[in-house]
Structure 1
Amino acid sequence: MLRGTLRTRRLAAVGLFAVVVMVPAGGARAGLEDELGRSEVRVLSAPYPLSPGVTVTGAALPERLERLGYQRIHDRPERPGEFFWGLDRFWIYRRAHDYDGERVEARLLGLELSREDGTVLGVIDADQRPVAAGGEGVWLEPEVLAESLTERRARRRPIELAQLPEHVWRPVLAAEDSRFFEHSGLDARGIARALLANARAGKVVQGGSTITQQLIKSRDLTPKRSFGRKLSEAVRTLEVEAEYDKEEILQAYLNHVYFGHLDGVGIYGLGAAARAYFSKAAADLDLAQAAVLAAMIQGPNRLSLVRHPQAARERQVWVLGRMEELGWATAGEVAAARGKTLPPLALSPPAPRGDRQLIAWVAEVVRLEAPDRFEEGRGFLVETAFDAALQDAATEVVETHLADLRREHPRLKNLPLSAAVVTLDARTGEVLVHVAGDPADPDDAFDRVRQARRQPGSAIKPLVLLEAFGDCNDDPLYPARRIEDGPITLELESGPWQPTNFSPTFRGTVTLRDALVASLNTPFVRVARHCGFEPTALRIRRAGVPLPEPAPPAFVLGAVETTPLAMARSFAVFPNLGERVRAVPVRRIARPGGSLVAHGRSGRRRVVDAASAYLVLDLLRDAVARGTGQAAALEGFTAWGKTGTSDERRDAWFVGGIGELLTAVWVGVDDGTPLGLTGSDAAAPLWHDVMARVAPSRPATAIERPVRVTTAWVQDDTGLRVRPHRPGSHEDLFRRGAEPLHRRLLRADEPVPVLR
């Protein structure tokens, strides 16, 4: 009865202003928090696809849902925001949300599971009917990565009012709007009461604005104060009160209210504040903790728990007194809460949602694609390609790995060690993960993924093979081709160049496959000389690594500078069977209401034929299985990739993938101080740990062998073709039409072909 009376009163008040509340097309009413988002900046992660082929634990589904604020229950969900993990079903009542300019309605989805290992076998709807994997809306809604492109903000931890104990949210009403459930949005009695209380106290202890007014003000991006703005705020306040339930308004307020800065990071929402100041979920706060957070709202920095604990404590005592005065807490409960000593706080440094470098990249894209909206500070929505859960996992892995390196290698202890990790979906170029420094340094703003130009060392060798297996002066090579590993001298304008191997020894004659697996240097110099240094450099440029013109011959050993992003993009040529992609951090930029401003720029371009790319990919699998990349091998997956170590062991690299998921890793020091570690030591283990989180989160993809790739048996010691299964022979891959000679076609006294 009370609810109906309040709603009627609010509608009548709105009528005085002749306000028309607009309802979205189709009659569906968006949630208040969705509506609030229409007037601000929001940077979203990509939705997580619910696809067969992953396991529940590998995809970290419960953790992903809990990040989104879903509640785990013990039976099939009956309302949005709940999930249930059964023996052979995983039910998710996915919430309604906006994405790609459309309203995606709430939907109950069931994942059919294998009882053996929890593998997702299929997706069904509420009526047990199959749902096409990858179909419309078969995903988890995006996370908010950032709500500002200029300010660092902590990850918002959305709360559901219905899941909060009353003693957690009541202190907020006691502090800010005790008549919230009685007024219609504007509270004349509250203003009069606040004026009287402030006069008696000789200072501001109460405000006159209602919670609804505060919510409207906090979401208004216009800083100018005027009578017109005040009137507009009043009208919008009444609109909100007429359209939305009180509980929905209060929940939106609790999820958006500002709680100050901690370690330079803005904290917005009760969930984020509970985690930042007390290292716990909002639902687990006791009365004393809830009251002190409510106390901070009036002046989050002036009443900071960290910088001004005494002022915060005094305000908390006042809030508790109001709780007792209003009958919302007993005298005993208030006395117990007042008697609790809050400091020392269990602070959890509020890592911002997305690192600074990632958000800076997004800001660059927005500035380029929507310069007017960006410069004028207007609201917009940015739908990125990033996977928020994987981003956090990779950040944690990088921080742990760098700490481990410092602990295991004392000489690194005092060095500003850093790292870069970037993960792409090779098919689309979409960037899933971007970690561009040491996560332990919150002030680090340098983007090593895009801006650090370092020597890749042997990580460039697979790109050299693109020309070797392709045109190569009309004499293409193949994996079993015999090549000399020995001293070599090239006469250059600057003088003779005598490259050596990482190890000072030579192996004599080896196959090209073994030369890559063991990362030998001199065979690759011979390959580039055979194919032509400039055609080889041109092919690498086309793949995405910007070599100088003309390129010095040492480029074949990685003695040129490039970025981790360029290396990742160029290695996409291998799983894409010869096509390069553009790196895509942003899928879509839209106005706050969802209408399109710009799409992310994607595109593919052929660099080499599919057969040549596949041959290199096969060698890269070998490099992980039995070569310098063994530290990257991941149980249950077929990994491929290549280590790299620059001169004097300054830079450590590993670039590779699992199927079409591709990750580039660099570890080093910005000023080039030698690490004393190789790519096998410092980069491959980091790649392994990152991909151990990334690979299980996506369905495994097999890269089909092109029709122009064939097999043949070759003699181990000559590389010539022989009959199948002949002793001392093995089967290898070849590009059709570029197979080696058959052994019987050579005279007995004719020398075996070796590239020298």
Structure 2
Amino acid sequence: MSKKSSDVVANKKNSNKNLKIKTLKQRFLSFLWSLLWKGSVAFCAFLFIAGIYFDQKIERKLDGPTWALPAQVYGRPLLLQRGELSQAQLVGELKLLNYRPVESVQSSGQFSVNQQQVIIYRRAFDFPDRPESALKIRVDFSQGKIASITDERRQNRDSIRLDPLLLARLDSDKIEDRVFVPFEKIPNLFVNTLLVMEDKNYYHHQGISPLAILRAFIVNFQVGRRVQGGSTLTQQLAKNLFLTPDRSLWRKFQEAYIAVLMDYKYSKDVLLEAYLNEVYLAQNGDSAIYGIGLASDYYFARPINELRIEQIALLVAIIKGPSYYNPRRNPERALSRRDLVLRKMVENNLISTADYKYAVADSLNLSKKRALNERANPAFMSLLYRELAAQVPRSVRNSNGLHIFTSIAPLAQKHAEFAVQKGVAQVSKDKQDDLQAAMVISDRQYAEVRAVVSGREVKFSGFNRALDANRPIGSLVKPAVYLTALDAGYGLDYHLNDKAIILKNGTGQRWQPKNYDRKFRGQVTLEEALIHSLNVPTVNLGMQVGLNNVISSLHKMGIQEKIKAYPSLVLGSISLSPLQVAQMYQPITMNGGYQPLTLIRSIMSNEGELLYQRGDRSEQVFSPQAVKELTNTLHKVTSEGTARSLRWRNPGQSFAGKTGTTNNLNDSWFVGFDRDEVVTTWVGKDNNTSAALTGSSGALVLFSYYMKQKIGK
């Protein structure tokens, strides 16, 4: 073959080879293109489907109730009015409400005291009847009572309410706990400080920040470990609301995608509000603290809008790592981080240099660790749960974020707890460590429970003696006997025999009642018999008016249990709890009107709708004249009768009341009342053995301590 022919063949082979290569390349490129566009279509379809799925999740979460908010339980708001309250009582209430004492009152939650004057900047609050704004007022005192109330416009006010104390949050699962704060009530300084520290470009990016992610990657790569994150606040919100805390690429993709969708659908303010109410900030026992509203209360015992500069800085610092910067466990670490936040605040012109120097010199100033848990007393919380179940419809109880307004008076509760602890320690004999007590404070005018204590360990949530300890009431029943007589037309000067008598009890056995001092006086007036709590004349009176009529009176006074008509009834053989006794005495203190004792005043929805309102109607069950005569006699009981030790125990104070003592001195009772409160007190032992105390040597002492606390002594 010639060289020319050979070259032709070779060229042909090369051409065929090149053609094959070209064909293979074309096929490969075609395959890649097919794979690319099909993959792109599939990916777009995936993004579309995932977008629909995530969008529905986002809408369900952010358009509906974002959180299952616990019900908030409030005490009664203190009503300031002329002629009421001492300066000491007002200051005591302000301290319980965590108002801050200052020299010059400038903002809500502050007060100052100057001789016979208290200046208060009342907090804004949405009361059940209407919302009221923050207001600066001046309260002047004269002769130990409020003389005038003047607001910031120099207008005289007859009365004004303070915001009520938040006592507890009812969270059924004990997992999450939060107080929702709307965006408009979050201080601008807090928002701006948070953005400086966590997401400077928050209002400029679209949910994710590629530059922040790249910067974090470079920094982490340089140091060989994760020291910086690139997530925006929107991404953090997406993770907190919808995702698990694992660090997989799939989770990061979901986080970014959800963040972009949320940023597209909702305003920056709405998302920031959600973030600040969702962020985890502490662990309080079994409950987690979520959101800056509850965290502000947990760390500083005050609402978020009252935080000082250094407190705002600390709360922002904690957001970075609630466990790592826990100020109670790691105070030095938290302080260092707080000071860094303060430096950033002054560098970004959020605060002045003078404010910075003042703030950085301050300590952490945390509230007591258990302050958040100590406002609620298990005794009145138990009564609250029972009343909710008995009086409030299930549909209301199951609503989200209820605001429950109660009649609990925080200062009265504090004084009652002190009186029980101090009083039991005082009356215990021979180291009676098993001596117990209970106390119920009720309001004379409105038939409301103001305070409940169920034992000497006032925060113990076990057996509730105030509600469940049914014990013989002894001579506490006698006013019911005498009221029956007075209501039937008997006079206080009516004479009763005080001579030995023998009766038969329910089993046919002979019963011979005796007076406590084992003496007989021949004849005594009805008034004398009650003042000195004489047994025999009381039995004679009970038999004359009729035991069934006495039982009828007890039912009118609110005792619902079936009572047998035994003669021993009139000496207190029936058993009642302290709360039932308080109910029994309520008509005596309400001019003969009956109204059930209650704790719940009203319930509002999270949106401000009134869902439940306590009824205020009372029923006249006894003659006002008969009740007046009885009350005057009970006043003499405390001045010259069985409770006369109150004259030297509480000089200058005026009371009416009745002692009660049961067989073998097992139970010591006293019910006393001044012009606005009824105090029911029991002292005894859970095993029903002798407490070795009469009504005057036991329960009356606790009553005395309470009344001393009430007037600030």
TM score, norm. by length of structure 2: 0.71
SS of residue matched to 1:50: strand
Aligned to 1:455, which of 472, 476, 481? 472
**Post-superposition shift, 1:140?**
0.6
**Post-superposition shift, 1:357?**
2.7
Q: Distance in 2 between matches of 1:394 and 1:212?
A: 50
1:127 and 2:149 correspond = no
**Post-superposition shift, 1:184?**
3.7
Per-residue CA shift, 1:465-510, capped at 9, x if unaligned? 1111122xxxx43222232223221123411111222333333332
1:420 and 2:433 correspond = no
Alpha carbons of 1:208 and 1:325: their partners in 2 closer, same or farther (altered >3 Å)?
A: farther
1:141 and 2:163 correspond = yes
Instruction: Single out whichever of 669-678 and 621-630 deviates more from structure 2.
Output: 669-678
Q: Map 1:466-485 onto structure 2 (within 5 A).
A: 466-471=483-488, 476-485=489-498
Q: Distance in 1 between matches of 2:410 and 2:690?
A: 33
Aligned to 2:101: 72
Aligned to 2:670: 654
Give the residue type in structure 2 aligned to 1:371.
R
1:534 and 2:548 correspond = yes
Alpha carbons of 1:210 and 1:604: their partners in 2 closer, same or farther (altered >3 Å)?
A: same
SS of residue matched to 1:629: coil
1:431 and 2:449 correspond = yes
Q: Distance in 2 between matches of 1:80 and 1:275?
A: 14
Q: Do the aligned residues in 2 keep the contact of 1:216 with 1:236 (CA within 8 Å)? A: no
1:98 and 2:114 correspond = no
1:515 and 2:529 correspond = yes
Aligned to 1:501: 515
Q: Do the aligned residues in 2 keep the contact of 1:464 with 1:528 (CA within 8 Å)? A: yes
Q: Map 1:38-77 onto structure 2 (within 5 A).
A: 40-58=70-88, 60-75=89-104, 77=105
**Post-superposition shift, 1:263?**
9.7
Give the residue type in structure 1 aligned to 2:392.
E
Q: Distance in 2 between matches of 1:554 and 1:626?
A: 26
Aligned to 1:623, which of 637, 640, 652? 637
Q: Distance in 2 between matches of 1:431 and 1:445?
A: 20
Structure (1 or 2) with the larger CA radius of gyration: 2
Q: Distance in 2 between matches of 1:481 and 1:457?
A: 23
Aligned to 2:651: 635
1:261 and 2:279 correspond = no
SS of residue matched to 1:656: strand
Aligned to 1:374, which of 373, 381, 397? 397
Q: Distance in 2 between matches of 1:78 and 1:465?
A: 57
Q: Distance in 2 between matches of 1:298 and 1:325?
A: 16
Give the residue type in structure 1 aligned to 2:155.
R
SS of residue matched to 1:450: helix
Structure 1 or 2: larger helix share? Answer: 2
Q: Distance in 1 between matches of 2:264 and 2:344?
A: 27
**Post-superposition shift, 1:567?**
1.4
Alpha carbons of 1:228 and 1:487: their partners in 2 closer, same or farther (altered >3 Å)?
A: farther
Aligned to 1:684: 700
**Post-superposition shift, 1:576?**
1.7
Give the residue type in structure 2 aligned to 1:662.
V
Q: Do the aligned residues in 2 keep the contact of 1:537 with 1:547 (CA within 8 Å)? A: no
Give the residue type in structure 1 aligned to 2:416.
A
1:587 and 2:591 correspond = no
Instruction: Single out whichever of 493-502 and 178-187 deviates more from structure 2.
Output: 178-187
Q: Do the aligned residues in 1 keep the contact of 2:178 with 2:289 (CA within 8 Å)? A: no
Alpha carbons of 1:541 and 1:204: their partners in 2 closer, same or farther (altered >3 Å)?
A: farther
Give the residue type in structure 2 aligned to 1:688.
S
**Post-superposition shift, 1:173?**
7.3
**Post-superposition shift, 1:435?**
1.8
Aligned to 2:49: none
**Post-superposition shift, 1:79?**
3.8
Q: Distance in 1 between matches of 2:129 and 2:335?
A: 47
Per-residue CA shift, 1:268-308, capped at 9, x if unaligned? 534543689xxxx9979999xx97x98876786899889xx
Q: Do the aligned residues in 1 keep the contact of 2:455 with 2:464 (CA within 8 Å)? A: yes
Aligned to 1:23: none
SS of residue matched to 1:141: coil
Q: Do the aligned residues in 1 keep the contact of 2:281 with 2:319 (CA within 8 Å)? A: yes
Alpha carbons of 1:61 and 1:215: their partners in 2 closer, same or farther (altered >3 Å)?
A: farther
The count of corresponding residues between Structure 1 and Structure 2 is 604
Q: Do the aligned residues in 1 keep the contact of 2:280 with 2:289 (CA within 8 Å)? A: no
**Post-superposition shift, 1:181?**
6.4
Q: Map 1:357-368 onto structure 2 (within 5 A).
A: 357-367=379-389, 368=391
Alpha carbons of 1:260 and 1:613: their partners in 2 closer, same or farther (altered >3 Å)?
A: same
Q: Map 1:179-258 onto structure 2 (within 5 A).
A: 179=198, 183-184=202-203, 188=208, 192=213, 208=231, 210=233, 238-240=268-270, 258=281
Give the residue type in structure 2 aligned to 1:64.
E
Per-residue CA shift, 1:97-127, capped at 9, x if unaligned? 100142112223232322xx44211223333
**Post-superposition shift, 1:390?**
2.0
Unaligned segments of structure 1, at least 5 residues: 1-16, 18-34, 219-224, 330-341, 698-756
1:82 and 2:110 correspond = yes
Q: Do the aligned residues in 1 keep the contact of 2:396 with 2:611 (CA within 8 Å)? A: no
Aligned to 1:399, which of 397, 418, 421? 421
Aligned to 2:462: 445
Q: Map 1:281-360 onto structure 2 (within 5 A).
A: 319=337, 351-360=373-382
Q: Do the aligned residues in 2 keep the contact of 1:155 with 1:353 (CA within 8 Å)? A: no
Alpha carbons of 1:385 and 1:482: their partners in 2 closer, same or farther (altered >3 Å)?
A: same
Instruction: Single out whichever of 687-696 and 450-459 deviates more from structure 2.
Output: 687-696
Aligned to 2:691: 675
**Post-superposition shift, 1:315?**
6.8
Q: Distance in 1 between matches of 2:151 and 2:606?
A: 31
Per-residue CA shift, 1:639-680, capped at 9, x if unaligned? 001111222222211112101321111122233232111121
**Post-superposition shift, 1:353?**
1.5
Aligned to 1:111: 139
Q: Distance in 1 between matches of 2:464 and 2:381?
A: 10
Give the residue type in structure 2 aligned to 1:72.
P
Q: Distance in 1 between matches of 2:638 and 2:67?
A: 46
**Post-superposition shift, 1:620?**
0.6
Q: Distance in 1 between matches of 2:137 and 2:561?
A: 50
SS of residue matched to 1:630: coil
Alpha carbons of 1:182 and 1:547: their partners in 2 closer, same or farther (altered >3 Å)?
A: same
Q: Distance in 1 between matches of 2:670 and 2:387?
A: 27
SS of residue matched to 1:273: helix
**Post-superposition shift, 1:439?**
3.4
Give the residue type in structure 2 aligned to 1:179.
E
TM score, norm. by length of structure 1: 0.68
Give the residue type in structure 1 aligned to 2:198.
R
SS of residue matched to 1:672: coil
Q: Map 1:595-610 onto structure 2 (within 5 A).
A: 595-610=609-624
Q: Distance in 2 between matches of 1:546 and 1:63?
A: 38
